[in-house]
Amino acid sequence: MAHAAPSDEAGALAPALQTLLHERGWLAMLAPVAAGGAELALPAAVRLEEAIASADGGTGWTVTLCAGAAWFAGFLVPDLAREIIGTPGLCVGGSGAPTGHAEREGDGYRLGGQWDIATGAPLATHYTFNAMLREGGRPLLDPQGGPRIRAFIVPAQSVRMQPTWHSIGLRATASHSFSIDGVWVGARHGFDIAPEHATAPGPLYRFPFVTLAFVTLAANVAGMAKHFLGLAGPLIAGRRHPLAGRMLGEIPEVVWVVRQAGHDLAAARAHFYLLLDAMWERVCRDAAPDVGQAHALHAASLALVEAGRIAVDTLYPFCGLHAADGRSDINRVWRDLHTATQHAMLLPLQAP
Protein backbone atom coordinates (compact mmCIF):
# COMPACT_ATOMS: atom_id res chain seq x y z
CA MET A 1 0.00 0.00 0.00
CA ALA A 2 1.64 3.19 -1.23
CA HIS A 3 0.76 5.39 1.73
CA ALA A 4 1.60 2.90 4.49
CA ALA A 5 5.17 4.06 5.11
CA PRO A 6 4.35 7.80 5.28
CA SER A 7 1.44 7.00 7.61
CA ASP A 8 3.72 5.01 9.90
CA GLU A 9 6.26 7.82 9.94
CA ALA A 10 3.64 10.50 10.59
CA GLY A 11 1.83 8.50 13.26
CA ALA A 12 -1.52 8.92 11.51
CA LEU A 13 -3.23 7.59 8.40
CA ALA A 14 -2.33 9.59 5.32
CA PRO A 15 -5.15 11.77 3.92
CA ALA A 16 -5.41 9.50 0.87
CA LEU A 17 -6.04 6.49 3.13
CA GLN A 18 -8.62 8.39 5.15
CA THR A 19 -10.41 9.25 1.91
CA LEU A 20 -10.29 5.59 0.86
CA LEU A 21 -11.91 4.44 4.11
CA HIS A 22 -14.76 6.88 3.69
CA GLU A 23 -15.27 6.27 -0.03
CA ARG A 24 -15.47 2.50 0.49
CA GLY A 25 -17.78 2.87 3.48
CA TRP A 26 -15.57 0.54 5.50
CA LEU A 27 -16.02 2.42 8.77
CA ALA A 28 -19.78 1.75 8.66
CA MET A 29 -19.68 -1.76 7.23
CA LEU A 30 -20.99 -3.31 10.46
CA ALA A 31 -23.59 -0.63 11.18
CA PRO A 32 -27.29 -1.41 10.52
CA VAL A 33 -28.67 -0.84 7.04
CA ALA A 34 -31.60 0.99 8.59
CA ALA A 35 -29.15 3.49 10.10
CA GLY A 36 -27.24 3.97 6.85
CA GLY A 37 -24.56 1.31 7.29
CA ALA A 38 -23.68 -1.69 5.12
CA GLU A 39 -24.50 -4.41 7.69
CA LEU A 40 -22.18 -6.90 6.02
CA ALA A 41 -22.44 -10.55 6.93
CA LEU A 42 -19.81 -11.11 9.58
CA PRO A 43 -17.74 -13.71 7.66
CA ALA A 44 -17.53 -11.32 4.70
CA ALA A 45 -16.52 -8.44 6.95
CA VAL A 46 -13.85 -10.52 8.68
CA ARG A 47 -12.37 -11.62 5.35
CA LEU A 48 -12.36 -8.01 4.19
CA GLU A 49 -10.58 -6.89 7.36
CA GLU A 50 -7.98 -9.61 6.86
CA ALA A 51 -7.43 -8.48 3.26
CA ILE A 52 -6.99 -4.84 4.29
CA ALA A 53 -4.55 -5.84 7.05
CA SER A 54 -2.59 -7.92 4.53
CA ALA A 55 -2.05 -4.70 2.56
CA ASP A 56 -1.30 -2.53 5.61
CA GLY A 57 -1.67 -3.38 9.27
CA GLY A 58 -2.30 0.17 10.44
CA THR A 59 -5.14 0.64 7.99
CA GLY A 60 -6.63 -2.77 8.72
CA TRP A 61 -6.49 -2.24 12.47
CA THR A 62 -8.12 1.18 12.20
CA VAL A 63 -10.91 -0.16 10.00
CA THR A 64 -11.50 -3.11 12.31
CA LEU A 65 -11.61 -1.22 15.59
CA CYS A 66 -13.60 1.73 14.25
CA ALA A 67 -16.04 -0.40 12.25
CA GLY A 68 -16.44 -2.51 15.37
CA ALA A 69 -17.33 0.58 17.38
CA ALA A 70 -19.89 1.59 14.73
CA TRP A 71 -21.42 -1.90 15.14
CA PHE A 72 -22.74 -0.58 18.45
CA ALA A 73 -25.28 1.43 16.43
CA GLY A 74 -27.27 -1.80 16.38
CA PHE A 75 -27.83 -1.34 20.12
CA LEU A 76 -28.75 2.35 20.10
CA VAL A 77 -32.22 3.82 19.85
CA PRO A 78 -32.87 3.94 16.08
CA ASP A 79 -33.10 7.70 15.68
CA LEU A 80 -29.74 8.23 17.41
CA ALA A 81 -28.20 5.42 15.34
CA ARG A 82 -29.34 7.11 12.12
CA GLU A 83 -28.05 10.46 13.34
CA ILE A 84 -24.61 9.06 14.15
CA ILE A 85 -24.11 6.80 11.13
CA GLY A 86 -25.28 9.62 8.87
CA THR A 87 -22.53 11.93 10.14
CA PRO A 88 -20.30 13.14 7.27
CA GLY A 89 -16.84 11.59 7.60
CA LEU A 90 -18.12 9.12 10.20
CA CYS A 91 -15.53 7.41 12.36
CA VAL A 92 -16.37 5.90 15.74
CA GLY A 93 -13.42 5.43 18.08
CA GLY A 94 -13.34 4.44 21.70
CA SER A 95 -12.13 2.25 24.51
CA GLY A 96 -13.62 -0.74 26.30
CA ALA A 97 -11.98 -0.12 29.66
CA PRO A 98 -14.43 1.08 32.38
CA THR A 99 -12.12 3.86 33.55
CA GLY A 100 -14.76 6.56 33.86
CA HIS A 101 -18.01 7.22 35.69
CA ALA A 102 -21.54 8.16 34.74
CA GLU A 103 -23.49 9.98 37.45
CA ARG A 104 -27.25 9.79 37.06
CA GLU A 105 -28.60 13.32 36.67
CA GLY A 106 -32.17 14.02 35.62
CA ASP A 107 -33.03 12.07 32.48
CA GLY A 108 -29.39 11.57 31.59
CA TYR A 109 -25.86 11.18 32.92
CA ARG A 110 -22.97 13.43 33.89
CA LEU A 111 -19.82 11.82 32.47
CA GLY A 112 -16.20 11.97 33.52
CA GLY A 113 -12.99 9.98 33.28
CA GLN A 114 -10.06 9.09 31.08
CA TRP A 115 -9.80 6.22 28.61
CA ASP A 116 -6.68 4.89 26.91
CA ILE A 117 -5.96 3.43 23.48
CA ALA A 118 -8.72 4.77 21.24
CA THR A 119 -7.76 3.59 17.76
CA GLY A 120 -8.32 6.23 15.09
CA ALA A 121 -8.71 8.99 17.67
CA PRO A 122 -7.81 11.91 15.35
CA LEU A 123 -10.41 10.73 12.82
CA ALA A 124 -13.19 10.11 15.31
CA THR A 125 -16.49 11.92 14.98
CA HIS A 126 -17.81 9.96 17.97
CA TYR A 127 -16.36 8.02 20.89
CA THR A 128 -17.70 4.99 22.71
CA PHE A 129 -16.58 3.91 26.17
CA ASN A 130 -17.61 2.05 29.30
CA ALA A 131 -18.32 3.85 32.55
CA MET A 132 -19.22 2.84 36.09
CA LEU A 133 -22.70 4.02 37.04
CA ARG A 134 -23.22 6.23 40.08
CA GLU A 135 -26.20 7.86 41.71
CA GLY A 136 -26.01 10.44 44.45
CA GLY A 137 -22.25 10.10 44.39
CA ARG A 138 -22.40 6.42 45.26
CA PRO A 139 -21.53 3.56 42.89
CA LEU A 140 -24.37 1.35 41.71
CA LEU A 141 -23.76 -2.37 42.07
CA ASP A 142 -24.78 -5.34 39.98
CA PRO A 143 -26.39 -8.49 41.48
CA GLN A 144 -22.93 -9.96 42.12
CA GLY A 145 -21.85 -6.92 44.12
CA GLY A 146 -19.55 -5.51 41.44
CA PRO A 147 -19.82 -2.06 39.86
CA ARG A 148 -22.59 -1.60 37.31
CA ILE A 149 -21.06 -0.70 33.98
CA ARG A 150 -22.75 0.76 30.92
CA ALA A 151 -21.54 1.73 27.48
CA PHE A 152 -21.97 5.27 26.16
CA ILE A 153 -21.44 7.13 22.91
CA VAL A 154 -20.75 10.86 22.62
CA PRO A 155 -19.72 13.25 19.83
CA ALA A 156 -16.03 14.04 19.53
CA GLN A 157 -16.69 17.61 20.66
CA SER A 158 -17.40 16.24 24.13
CA VAL A 159 -13.94 14.75 24.63
CA ARG A 160 -10.38 15.96 24.88
CA MET A 161 -7.86 13.84 22.99
CA GLN A 162 -4.44 13.35 24.56
CA PRO A 163 -1.46 12.26 22.39
CA THR A 164 -0.28 9.20 24.30
CA TRP A 165 0.30 6.60 21.56
CA HIS A 166 4.02 5.81 21.31
CA SER A 167 4.10 2.11 20.40
CA ILE A 168 6.71 0.49 18.17
CA GLY A 169 4.03 -0.58 15.70
CA LEU A 170 0.54 0.29 14.47
CA ARG A 171 1.76 3.87 14.68
CA ALA A 172 -0.64 4.99 11.96
CA THR A 173 -3.62 3.99 14.11
CA ALA A 174 -2.97 7.00 16.36
CA SER A 175 -4.55 5.13 19.27
CA HIS A 176 -4.41 8.02 21.69
CA SER A 177 -6.17 8.55 25.02
CA PHE A 178 -9.19 10.76 25.61
CA SER A 179 -10.88 12.30 28.61
CA ILE A 180 -14.29 13.72 29.47
CA ASP A 181 -14.84 16.30 32.18
CA GLY A 182 -18.40 16.71 33.41
CA VAL A 183 -20.25 16.43 30.10
CA TRP A 184 -24.00 15.74 30.40
CA VAL A 185 -25.75 13.47 27.89
CA GLY A 186 -29.30 12.21 27.61
CA ALA A 187 -30.09 8.65 28.64
CA ARG A 188 -30.36 7.54 25.00
CA HIS A 189 -26.57 7.88 24.70
CA GLY A 190 -26.19 4.89 27.02
CA PHE A 191 -26.63 1.35 25.74
CA ASP A 192 -26.12 -2.30 26.63
CA ILE A 193 -24.16 -4.65 24.36
CA ALA A 194 -26.03 -7.94 24.42
CA PRO A 195 -28.24 -9.70 21.86
CA GLU A 196 -31.35 -9.20 23.98
CA HIS A 197 -30.75 -5.42 23.92
CA ALA A 198 -30.22 -5.13 20.15
CA THR A 199 -32.41 -2.54 18.45
CA ALA A 200 -31.49 -3.72 14.94
CA PRO A 201 -33.09 -7.01 13.87
CA GLY A 202 -30.36 -8.69 11.81
CA PRO A 203 -28.21 -11.67 12.80
CA LEU A 204 -25.16 -9.43 13.02
CA TYR A 205 -26.52 -8.01 16.28
CA ARG A 206 -27.33 -11.43 17.72
CA PHE A 207 -23.72 -12.50 17.33
CA PRO A 208 -21.94 -12.38 20.71
CA PHE A 209 -19.76 -9.31 21.13
CA VAL A 210 -16.82 -11.12 22.71
CA THR A 211 -16.72 -13.63 19.86
CA LEU A 212 -16.98 -10.84 17.30
CA ALA A 213 -13.99 -9.16 18.94
CA PHE A 214 -11.94 -12.37 18.87
CA VAL A 215 -12.54 -13.09 15.20
CA THR A 216 -12.00 -9.57 13.90
CA LEU A 217 -8.75 -9.10 15.82
CA ALA A 218 -7.43 -12.54 14.87
CA ALA A 219 -8.14 -11.92 11.19
CA ASN A 220 -6.05 -8.76 11.36
CA VAL A 221 -3.08 -10.64 12.76
CA ALA A 222 -3.50 -13.28 10.05
CA GLY A 223 -3.45 -10.57 7.40
CA MET A 224 -0.30 -9.01 8.81
CA ALA A 225 1.39 -12.41 9.04
CA LYS A 226 0.49 -13.15 5.42
CA HIS A 227 1.98 -9.80 4.42
CA PHE A 228 5.19 -10.56 6.30
CA LEU A 229 5.56 -14.00 4.73
CA GLY A 230 5.04 -12.51 1.28
CA LEU A 231 7.84 -10.01 1.88
CA ALA A 232 10.13 -12.50 3.62
CA GLY A 233 10.07 -15.17 0.92
CA PRO A 234 11.95 -13.27 -1.81
CA LEU A 235 14.22 -11.63 0.77
CA ILE A 236 15.29 -15.00 2.19
CA ALA A 237 15.68 -16.62 -1.22
CA GLY A 238 17.97 -13.79 -2.33
CA ARG A 239 20.39 -14.04 0.61
CA ARG A 240 23.63 -15.96 0.43
CA HIS A 241 24.77 -18.17 3.29
CA PRO A 242 28.09 -16.66 4.43
CA LEU A 243 29.78 -20.02 5.03
CA ALA A 244 28.09 -22.39 2.61
CA GLY A 245 28.35 -19.90 -0.25
CA ARG A 246 24.89 -20.90 -1.47
CA MET A 247 21.73 -18.86 -1.80
CA LEU A 248 19.32 -19.58 1.04
CA GLY A 249 16.67 -20.38 -1.54
CA GLU A 250 18.83 -23.30 -2.69
CA ILE A 251 19.23 -24.86 0.76
CA PRO A 252 16.55 -27.55 1.31
CA GLU A 253 16.34 -26.98 5.06
CA VAL A 254 15.60 -23.29 4.56
CA VAL A 255 13.08 -23.98 1.81
CA TRP A 256 11.29 -26.41 4.13
CA VAL A 257 11.15 -23.87 6.98
CA VAL A 258 9.64 -21.22 4.71
CA ARG A 259 7.07 -23.60 3.26
CA GLN A 260 6.14 -25.02 6.65
CA ALA A 261 5.55 -21.55 8.09
CA GLY A 262 3.10 -20.80 5.30
CA HIS A 263 1.46 -24.20 5.59
CA ASP A 264 0.89 -23.91 9.34
CA LEU A 265 -0.59 -20.43 8.98
CA ALA A 266 -2.89 -21.58 6.16
CA ALA A 267 -4.08 -24.57 8.20
CA ALA A 268 -4.91 -22.42 11.24
CA ARG A 269 -6.68 -19.93 8.97
CA ALA A 270 -8.78 -22.63 7.29
CA HIS A 271 -9.89 -24.05 10.65
CA PHE A 272 -10.71 -20.56 11.92
CA TYR A 273 -12.96 -19.74 8.97
CA LEU A 274 -14.61 -23.15 9.08
CA LEU A 275 -15.76 -22.47 12.65
CA LEU A 276 -16.67 -18.84 11.97
CA ASP A 277 -18.83 -19.74 8.97
CA ALA A 278 -20.57 -22.49 10.97
CA MET A 279 -21.35 -20.23 13.90
CA TRP A 280 -22.61 -17.48 11.60
CA GLU A 281 -24.92 -19.94 9.84
CA ARG A 282 -26.32 -20.99 13.20
CA VAL A 283 -27.05 -17.38 14.20
CA CYS A 284 -28.64 -16.73 10.80
CA ARG A 285 -31.03 -19.62 11.46
CA ASP A 286 -32.26 -17.70 14.51
CA ALA A 287 -30.63 -20.26 16.76
CA ALA A 288 -29.04 -19.09 19.98
CA PRO A 289 -25.23 -19.23 19.75
CA ASP A 290 -23.92 -22.45 21.24
CA VAL A 291 -21.54 -21.82 24.15
CA GLY A 292 -19.28 -24.67 23.13
CA GLN A 293 -19.22 -23.42 19.56
CA ALA A 294 -18.27 -19.94 20.76
CA HIS A 295 -15.48 -21.28 22.97
CA ALA A 296 -14.13 -23.34 20.07
CA LEU A 297 -14.08 -20.23 17.88
CA HIS A 298 -12.30 -18.26 20.61
CA ALA A 299 -9.66 -21.01 20.76
CA ALA A 300 -9.35 -21.06 16.97
CA SER A 301 -8.89 -17.29 16.97
CA LEU A 302 -6.05 -17.51 19.48
CA ALA A 303 -4.55 -20.43 17.56
CA LEU A 304 -4.60 -18.34 14.37
CA VAL A 305 -2.86 -15.48 16.17
CA GLU A 306 -0.28 -17.91 17.56
CA ALA A 307 0.28 -19.45 14.13
CA GLY A 308 0.84 -16.00 12.65
CA ARG A 309 3.25 -14.99 15.37
CA ILE A 310 5.20 -18.26 15.12
CA ALA A 311 5.41 -18.04 11.33
CA VAL A 312 6.74 -14.49 11.47
CA ASP A 313 9.20 -15.16 14.28
CA THR A 314 10.43 -18.33 12.58
CA LEU A 315 11.28 -16.53 9.34
CA TYR A 316 12.54 -13.25 10.79
CA PRO A 317 16.05 -14.57 11.64
CA PHE A 318 16.54 -15.57 7.99
CA CYS A 319 15.70 -12.11 6.65
CA GLY A 320 18.86 -10.17 7.49
CA LEU A 321 19.47 -6.58 8.48
CA HIS A 322 16.99 -5.22 5.94
CA ALA A 323 14.24 -6.60 8.16
CA ALA A 324 15.72 -4.69 11.10
CA ASP A 325 15.71 -1.38 9.21
CA GLY A 326 12.87 0.68 10.65
CA ARG A 327 12.29 2.25 7.23
CA SER A 328 11.65 -1.05 5.43
CA ASP A 329 8.21 -2.43 4.67
CA ILE A 330 9.00 -5.77 6.26
CA ASN A 331 10.12 -4.11 9.49
CA ARG A 332 6.91 -2.07 9.64
CA VAL A 333 4.84 -5.22 9.19
CA TRP A 334 6.87 -6.98 11.90
CA ARG A 335 6.32 -4.05 14.27
CA ASP A 336 2.61 -3.86 13.47
CA LEU A 337 2.06 -7.56 14.10
CA HIS A 338 3.96 -7.60 17.38
CA THR A 339 1.98 -4.60 18.58
CA ALA A 340 -1.37 -6.06 17.51
CA THR A 341 -0.70 -9.32 19.33
CA GLN A 342 -0.37 -7.40 22.61
CA HIS A 343 -4.09 -6.58 22.57
CA ALA A 344 -5.65 -7.77 25.83
CA MET A 345 -8.08 -10.06 23.99
CA LEU A 346 -5.18 -11.89 22.36
CA LEU A 347 -3.41 -13.01 25.51
CA PRO A 348 -2.31 -16.55 24.57
CA LEU A 349 -4.30 -18.19 27.36
CA GLN A 350 -7.93 -19.22 27.58
CA ALA A 351 -9.89 -17.97 30.57
CA PRO A 352 -9.57 -20.45 33.47
Per DSSP bridges, beta strands 190-191 and 126-135 are: unpaired
For the stretch 189-248, pLDDT in tens is 999 999 999 999 999 999 999 999 999 999 999 999 999 999 999 999 999 999 988 999
Distance set, CA 51 to CA 45, 181, 223, 224, 266 (Å): 10, 39, 6, 9, 14
pLDDT computed for residue 349 by the predictor: 76
- Average per-residue pLDDT in the chain? 97
Q: For residue 149, list its beta bridge partners.
A: 132
Residues 37, 28: contact at Cβ < 8 Å?
Answer: yes
- Which residue type, as a one-letter code, is found at position 18? Q
Per-residue pLDDT of the chain (352 residues; tens, 9 = 90+): 789 999 999 999 999 999 999 999 999 999 999 999 999 999 999 999 999 999 999 999 999 999 999 999 999 999 999 999 999 999 999 999 999 999 999 999 999 999 999 999 999 999 999 999 999 999 999 999 999 999 999 999 999 999 999 999 999 999 999 999 999 999 999 999 999 999 999 999 999 999 999 999 999 999 999 999 999 999 999 999 999 889 999 999 999 999 999 999 999 999 999 999 999 999 999 878 889 999 999 999 999 999 999 999 999 999 999 999 999 999 999 999 999 999 999 998 765 5
Question: Which pLDDT score is estimated for 352?
Answer: 54
First and final C-alpha spacing in the chain: 40
Domains of the chain: 4-85 (1.10.540.10), 97-196 (2.40.110.10), 207-346 (1.20.140.10)
